[in-house]
Chain A
Amino acid sequence: MTAASDRLAVELGAPSWLVAAWRLTWPPLVTALIVGGGWELLIWALEIPAYYIPAPSRIWQAFWANPGNLMVHAGITLLEAVSGCVIGSLLGAMLGTGFAYSPLLARGLLPYFIAANTIPVVAIAPIIILWFGHGIESKIAVTTFLSFFPLALNMMKGLQSYDRVIMDVFHVAAANPWQRFLKMRLPSALPYVFVGLKINVTFSVIGAIVAEFVQADRGLGFIIMTTYRSLNMPRLWAALFISALIGMVFFGIVNALERLAIPWHSSMRTDV
């Protein structure tokens, strides 16, 4: 099927990036069509009420009735997620670097960070909102809190994962500590950093929505809460789909960054 559609694309004179994009997108599209169609049919055949499970067409209608409004809320949630993810990751990377260079600091602080990280976000979010107020700042604070730990840990592990023989090479070449960090330990840490970032992407979208549950007057979490109270389920489902979409877009951005930053890494191989 791929080969046939590729040949067709070439005959039609489609550019190669379009062919490559199509090769990536058609399998999930087929899944969406089959699942979506089956879902629609089932709702219709079994006469399931819309507040229980709305049909895809109803969800689409709910979205299309006021798409701009939903997208504004989505944008706010995305802003909260991205800001918190960036701030938390930066802070986490800095502390992780401290841990990697000072085992004493790691031994002294790490147990408490692990403990803090096990606190469920739903439990800590109200406190953070109490501290940071009712605006967007408090939601960013929640996502910052969530993004902090995965990067601190991965940065520490990454900076410690350099090759001992390469260290000898740097030593014999009389490298100073700064050169060792910049040209050896940091590049070795990058694959770990991206593992942490990908965790943070998912966490921070969840974190933003949970924080909005607790208290908010905008954002997807706010939409989900208010539509649930009014049993406007198609609109709630539309918000759910958009939150998933945000997560995927965000994830896609980090993936693209990873491809740019570590094209040399074995995880970037395209020939397997």
Chain B
Amino acid sequence: MSARTAIARGLAPVDAAAPCVRFERVSMVFRGQGGHPDVQALCDIGLTIREREFVSLIGPSGCGKSTLLRIIADLVLPSEGLASINGEPPRRARLGREIGCVFQEPALLEWRRVQDNIALPLELAGVGRDERAARTAELLELVGLKGFERAWPRQLSGGMRQRAAIARALATRPRVLLLDEPFGALDQITRDRLNMELVRICEATRATVLLVTHSIREAVLLSDRVVVMSPRPGRIIADLAIDLPRPRTLLTRDDGRYADLVQRGTSELERGYDGSER
């Protein structure tokens, strides 16, 4: 959203960077089917993410954090409220190919070699063959899959498949990168390594990133802000600024402030549970 439209709407321009992703009073109710009661997944969510900010959404299972991501990816519409990317509905951003999405499962097309999987969004956007090949080579390099361009997805390890999925999400140089527990199905060691790669990749792509995760450690290590959500119906109960120095490395975990922030995040999460039991 440009500064002018922000002012026209009566909103003050925030900080130096312009707001990019925005939720305004977003609620989500899933209609119960077959006699099941309706489920309120999200309740009155307000959240603004600035351009190039890395924000993590953390909360217990079923708190609606993935739903929030699906709303901004234009995969579902909120029952109430508004979601926007650069001041426009998510649909506009999606059709403009400004959104990249990585899901918990890599969801690669098993009938395409790695390079053709990565090039898929470019192909769908009608990008020519030569340009596709050049961009794919860049991406393979970026995610560390060089040498595997002609492999079939089933020949890759879980971590490598997720690397390919990340490369595919970045293919059209999206302004917004949405990550829905991308490393949730991987073992701890692979996960740590990919987290560090993610730090590097995000710094290289300069996209605005919204990460959904279960791990407070992962969230603190990667993010500029950690947004903590309560159990269903999901509300935002804390918004922690992570002022750890960049670039982050695995050594960041030895920083005293890292432990403090993890501690704070954990207690906020627990507070959310207590609140829901009352």
* Interface residues, chain A, with chain B CB atoms under 8 Å away: 163, 165-166, 168-175, 179, 183-184, 187-188, 190, 262, 264-266
Q: Can you list 12 A-B pairs, Cβ within 8 angstroms, ordered by A?
A: A169-B103, A169-B107, A171-B74, A172-B99, A172-B101, A173-B121, A173-B172, A183-B109, A183-B124, A264-B152, A264-B153, A265-B110
Nearest opposing residue in chain B for A164, CB measure: B107
A138 and B278 alpha carbons, distance in the complex (Å)? 78
Say how far B62's CB is from chain A's closest CB, in angstroms.
Answer: 19
Are A170 and B111 interface neighbours, CB within 8 A?
no
Say how far B140's CB is from chain A's closest CB, in angstroms.
Answer: 18
Are A173 and B97 interface neighbours, CB within 8 A?
yes
Nearest opposing residue in chain A for B91, CB measure: A174
Are B95 and A174 interface neighbours, CB within 8 A?
yes
Interfacial chain A residues near B124, Cβ < 8 Å: 170, 173-175, 179, 183
* Chain A interface helix/strand/loop/mixed: helix
A172 and B107 alpha carbons, distance in the complex (Å)? 13
Are A266 and B107 interface neighbours, CB within 8 A?
no
Contact of A165 among B95, B103, B112, B154 (CB under 8 A): B103
Annotate B109-132 by CB proximity to A: 1 below 8 A, 0 otherwise.
Answer: 111100000001101110000000
Interfacial chain B residues near A173, Cβ < 8 Å: 97, 120-121, 124-125, 172
Interfacial chain B residues near A184, Cβ < 8 Å: 109
Say how far B96's CB is from chain A's closest CB, in angstroms.
Answer: 8
Are A165 and B123 interface neighbours, CB within 8 A?
no
Interfacial chain A residues near B172, Cβ < 8 Å: 173
Are B110 and A264 interface neighbours, CB within 8 A?
yes
Are B154 and A264 interface neighbours, CB within 8 A?
yes
Contact of A168 among B101, B123, B125 (CB under 8 A): B101
Are B94 and A168 interface neighbours, CB within 8 A?
no
Contact of A172 among B73, B109, B112, B152 (CB under 8 A): B73
A179 and B99 alpha carbons, distance in the complex (Å)? 18
Whether B237 is near chain A, meaning CB under 8 Å from some CB there, is no
Whether B149 is near chain A, meaning CB under 8 Å from some CB there, is no
Say how far B205's CB is from chain A's closest CB, in angstroms.
Answer: 16
Q: How many A-B residue pairs have CB under 8 A?
A: 59
Are B120 and A172 interface neighbours, CB within 8 A?
no
Say how far B244's CB is from chain A's closest CB, in angstroms.
Answer: 31
Are A190 and B111 interface neighbours, CB within 8 A?
yes
A174, A175, A183, A265 — which one has the most chain B CB atoms within 10 A of its CB?
Answer: A174
Whether B259 is near chain A, meaning CB under 8 Å from some CB there, is no
Given the known A-B contacts A171-B75, A174-B97, are A163 and B111 also in contact in the complex, defined by CB atoms under 8 Å? no
B95, B107, B154 — which one has the most chain A CB atoms within 10 A of its CB?
Answer: B107
Interfacial chain B residues near A190, Cβ < 8 Å: 111
Interfacial chain A residues near B112, Cβ < 8 Å: 264
Are A187 and B154 interface neighbours, CB within 8 A?
no
Interfacial chain A residues near B168, Cβ < 8 Å: 169
10 new A-B pairs (CB below 8 Å) besides A174-B124, A187-B111, A262-B111? A165-B103, A170-B124, A172-B74, A172-B101, A173-B124, A173-B125, A175-B124, A183-B109, A183-B120, A264-B110
Contact of A183 among B97, B101, B123, B125 (CB under 8 A): B123
Given the known A-B contacts A173-B120, A264-B152, A264-B154, are A166 and B107 also in contact in the complex, defined by CB atoms under 8 Å? yes
Interfacial chain B residues near A170, Cβ < 8 Å: 124
A183 and B124 alpha carbons, distance in the complex (Å)? 9
Given the known A-B contacts A173-B97, A174-B94, are A165 and B107 also in contact in the complex, defined by CB atoms under 8 Å? yes
Say how far B237's CB is from chain A's closest CB, in angstroms.
Answer: 28
Are B94 and A172 interface neighbours, CB within 8 A?
yes
Given the known A-B contacts A171-B75, A172-B74, A266-B154, are A165 and B105 also in contact in the complex, defined by CB atoms under 8 Å? yes
